Chain A
Amino acid sequence: MRCLIETVRRGEISEARDFDAERLSLGRGADQDIRLQSRLAGLNHAVIEQEDGGTLHIRAVAPNHILYNGRTSTESVLTHGDKFSIGTVCFTVREAPEAYNLRLEIEEPTGRQSKELEDALLASIHPDAELRGFSMRRTAWSLSLAIVILFFLLPLAGFIYKPFGIWLRTLPVVSDLSWNPGPVSSAHSFFDTECNRCHEHAFVSVQNSACTACHKDTPHHVSEKFLESISALDSNRCASCHKEHGDSLIRHDEAMCASCHKDIKALAPDTKLSDVSDFGKGHPEFKVTVSPFPDDMSQPLRIPLDQKDRLMELSNLEFNHAAHLKKEGIKSPDRGKVRLDCANCHQPAQPDGKYMTKLDFESQCHECHKLNFEAEDPKQEMPHGNDRIVLTFLEGYYSARALKGDYRHLSAPQVVRERLRPGEELTPQENLEIKEWAAKYARDVDAETMRFRVCGKCHTVTQNRDSGQGDSPSRPWKIEPLGFNKRKLPNAKFDHDKHKTQKCTDCHDAEKSEHSEDVLLKGIVSCRDCHGGADAKNKVASTCVDCHGFHTSPSLTMEGKKIEPSSKPESSPGIESPPAGSNASPRPVIP
């Protein structure tokens, strides 16, 4: 049995002995193979022997016992990893090296010297115990490098090699999207992950070319004429006002507009604009856009609402608002007294509610305003909406009446006045007479209805001089086309839908208006009942851009391209163009 006995002192092997014997004796006695320095150990305390099968046994010599793996025992098989103690000496069975049967580790009975014990305790504290398993330096470097790599180097690589950048944006965190300081405005949100559409170059602020790449047709701020005198409007960066990743793309502050508009003549001496500083305190009276020519809106006039003597809107329609809005109501032939209000004729047009619906004779006027023209035939009405066929209609009507006879009008010839008897036939001479009378009479009725009743009651009617040539002018009278402005304040945004809670008469002076030439808008004072300037208290704080646009040049795009008149979406926004093909007519002049 070959044994390796190692003595361990303070964790280190201080002595190794080699034994080759049949049995190994352990005890306090001087003759023992392993001599134990413990007064609790017997002189011959125990022996270690190898059995025939090769297993090693330790056996205490009576009356001694050993503590084997913490249990009091007299005999045990030695297996590597086991611990046992004799007296104050501790043993550990280790795995035997090759050619050895046993390797036994003896721990010197430390703890007898306080210095050794103190050293052991000190060693247990560990010099850098507070940092065990944690390095501040390593953590600091790891975190810092992770941040630089994830949030800078990777996005940078993506910027340099675009396909990589596009791929990176599909991943969470590690792309230039992590640089996004705030959400992109909804107008641009359809490309909100394509940073480089706007941010084209590193460390260069967003250039105007990036904006006009899409906004090439956006009208310029002002017309070309004023752009020369206000060069700042052309040289500034779009992004200096239109800030992305923030609250709003559009600046709403009054101060920005007022910085020029409070003394606009200083910048553009030729302008017709008035100075404006604040809606509540420094805004001129509204100028309404009206036309001196009801059928031609190409040369509109802009007249302030406070210049009552000049204020007139010609529309080629006779209408008395006051009479229709009488509080006691008006008499309907079918329903008796009916009280009308504005909404009977005027409704905000959907979907945006900015415009009003078109007036409609059939549904709004016809109930009271019948188009009957013949006293003897009160139910017969002439057609509405097409003055060209009225005369033809009347000719046909009176020809038929004359052929039936018994039409007792003073101007009618005998053959018309008499009833045609059954079986009686008209001579060609009588036929001719009837035809001539019917044509003449139809023209008389046409002239009368056009000028004095039926048509002429509401419409402006003029004599058609152009068609007066020849014996039988086809259209002697003409109903002038209606000329309503769609928007009297085309340079302001106004939404009727949003003001539904207000009464129409809060802003429109309809109840007192007796003439259709009246402009019913009350003026800025009615707006100021509810709206104030940007700093208004107890009123709706309203800034310039709440009502006005800024990119409104009629002649120039932001890219510097001229807008062709034909391609203009609306030469004067909101003004209804005259109907195509309308004839020139004598133009009344606004005083």
Chain B
Amino acid sequence: MYGSILNYGQYRYLKQMGALVLIALLVYLSPCPDESPNGGTWQGYTLGVIGAALILFLLWFGVRKRQYHRTKTSLSRWASAHVYLGVSLPVVVSLHCGFQFGWNVHTLAYTLMMLVVVSGFYGLYAYLVYPEALTANRSGISRREMIAGIARLDETGLTLAEDLGAETHHLVLREVKETRLGGTLWHQITMGAGLPILPHLQWKLAGNFVASEQASLGVDTLSPEDFLRKYLRKSESTAEIHRVVELLKVLNERQSMVSRVQRDIRYHAFMKCWLLLHVPLSCALLAAVLVHVISVFFYW
């Protein structure tokens, strides 16, 4: 669907947008005796009516996309028209106002319109880029399946940790319990909600790191790396070392899976965050346009 937004009907709406912009330019450039272009000339009123109609049409997309029972006109056709006519809106409205701005409700409406369009541009970018990234990240498995995988790894990890003693189990359990997927929008985007789970532990262990002697400190104050390193230093049993290595493998696999889920959530967040601006600002724009039109004729 994403690909077809832009080239729907052999760029039908790109052509319509071009025609609309051309008409708007012709109206704008038509002779206007002794007045620099502004919203109060006949050209200004004409472009204003076109602009208002465009805004209503673009807003209707929000209603139409929720009317799931209507199938006569496909939603991708609506989306294509929404995108292209949305691109023409700033042109029409800028020509309508003749590039005259001030500290007033009229410029407020213009600013909101520009914010809505700019956020829409981002939305289009997100819809063109992130679905692909999303598919690549999932590589054939669903988010639910990935989460089930994490849970299986947790189970294995906890069982392995239990064999390594209460302290190891406590530490791994803490990791498991405090792992958060998603969270606030900020957390979703920064992937910052999950606990950093033993990152790059293996290569760090391979180095000549001398563990700081923090015996008097509790395990909670030690990083998992330090703890496990310390654990390994005093361990003499081959079977135990084998279990630790197994545990590390599990935890790293878990980390990689958690990252995948977080990336999945992040891409979804990227695809939705712009709507948090786009939709409320669109509604505010409708209010501002109404006030703009009423105020103009109130003090005619």
Contact of A114 among B34, B104, B155, B290 (CB under 8 A): B155
What does the 1/0 interface line of B263-300 toward A look like (CB < 8 Å)? 00100110011011001111110111011001111111
What does the 1/0 interface line of B178-218 toward A look like (CB < 8 Å)? 01111111001000000000000000000000000000011
A410 at the interface (CB under 8 A from B): no
A39 at the interface (CB under 8 A from B): yes
Quote the shortest CB–CB distance from A314 to chain B (angstroms).
42
The segment from B13-21, B127-135, B160-168, B235-243 found at the interface with A is B160-168
Quote the shortest CB–CB distance from B171 to chain A (angstroms).
9
B152 at the interface (CB under 8 A from A): yes
User: Which residue on chain B has the smallest CB distance to residue A70?
Assistant: B220
Quote the shortest CB–CB distance from A51 to chain B (angstroms).
24
> Would B104 and A147 count as touching, CB distance under 8 A?
no
Q: Give the interface size class of chain A.
A: 35 or more
Q: Give the interface size class of chain B.
A: 35 or more
- CA A112 to CA B160, docked complex, whole Å: 11
Contact of B33 among A141, A152, A255 (CB under 8 A): A255
A289 at the interface (CB under 8 A from B): no
- CA A177 to CA B106, docked complex, whole Å: 11
> Would B283 and A144 count as touching, CB distance under 8 A?
yes
User: Which residue on chain B has the smallest CB distance to residue A73?
Assistant: B218
Residues of A within 8 Å of B166, CB to CB, are 40, 67, 85-88
Quote the shortest CB–CB distance from A509 to chain B (angstroms).
35
Contact of B108 among A125, A147, A181 (CB under 8 A): A147
A233 at the interface (CB under 8 A from B): no
A205 at the interface (CB under 8 A from B): yes
What does the 1/0 interface line of B131-172 toward A look like (CB < 8 Å)? 000000000000010011011101100110010011101100
Quote the shortest CB–CB distance from A331 to chain B (angstroms).
56
> Would A121 and B181 count as touching, CB distance under 8 A?
yes
Known contacts A88-B162, A178-B104, A256-B33: does B284 contact A147 (CB below 8 Å)? yes
The segment from B35-43, B49-57, B79-87, B244-252 found at the interface with A is B35-43
Residues of A within 8 Å of B284, CB to CB, are 140, 143-144, 147
- CA A176 to CA B280, docked complex, whole Å: 25
> Would A151 and B182 count as touching, CB distance under 8 A?
no
Residues of B within 8 Å of A235, CB to CB, are none
Among the interface residues B35, B144, B151, B218, which one has the most CB atoms of the partner chain A within 10 A? B151
Residues of B within 8 Å of A113, CB to CB, are 155
A400 at the interface (CB under 8 A from B): no
Interchain Cβ contacts under 8 Å between A and B, 15 examples: A85-B166, A110-B177, A117-B176, A122-B144, A129-B183, A136-B276, A136-B279, A139-B280, A143-B280, A147-B105, A147-B288, A178-B104, A178-B295, A195-B299, A205-B300
Residues of B within 8 A of A (CB): 33-36, 38-40, 100, 102-106, 108, 144, 147-148, 150-152, 154-155, 158-159, 162, 165-167, 169-170, 173, 176-177, 179-185, 188, 217-221, 265, 268-269, 272-273, 275-276, 279-284, 286-288, 290-291, 294-300
